[in-house]
Amino acid sequence: MAKPDKRRNYDEAFKTEALRVARESRSTQPPARSLNIRPKLLYEWQKAVQPPLPADPTEVRQLRAANRRLEQELGRGIEGNVWAAPPVLRYAPAAGRTASAR
């Protein structure tokens, strides 16, 4: 005698509604709890309906080139880059006192 399947099967309408609720709440945990399903199952359903990322080699090459260019700009210290400017001393020690004398 075969064992009964303990896995629950959800229809497409339930999955669609669960995904809509998760999208509106911008979280997966509370909707999963309210629907009595595992959050991981909701993540799997979200992944299944997402369109696959394009594997266009030209686009990948362009994005990598743009990343290299931006990294170089950050390294050069373009104007307005807060990391390239020297630090500003906001609170100077009182006259006659140094930081080590405190």
In the structure, what pLDDT confidence band is assigned to residue 8 with cuts at 50, 70 and 90? confident
Residue 45 lies in a domain: yes
Could you tell me if residue 29 is inside a domain? yes
Q: What pLDDT shows up at residue 52?
A: 76
Query: pLDDT tens digits for 43-94?
Result: 999 899 888 776 788 888 898 999 999 988 877 655 555 666 666 777 766 6
With 0.75 as the threshold, say if the pTM is over it. no
Question: Is 53 part of a structural domain of the chain?
Answer: yes
Residue 96, domain member (yes or no):
no
Report pLDDT for 82: 61
Mapping DSSP onto H, E and C, the string for the chain reads: CCCCCCCCCCCHHHHHHHHHHHHHHCCCHHHHHHCCCCHHHHHHHHHHHCCCCCCCHHHHHHHHHHHHHHHHHHHHCCCCCCCCCCCCCCCCCCCCCCHHHC
Structural domains counted in the chain: 1
**Is residue 16 situated within a structural domain?**
yes
Q: Which domain holds residue 18?
A: 10-74
Calculate mean pLDDT across residues 22-38: 88
82 in a domain, yes or no? no
Is residue 102, in this structure, part of any structural domain at all? no
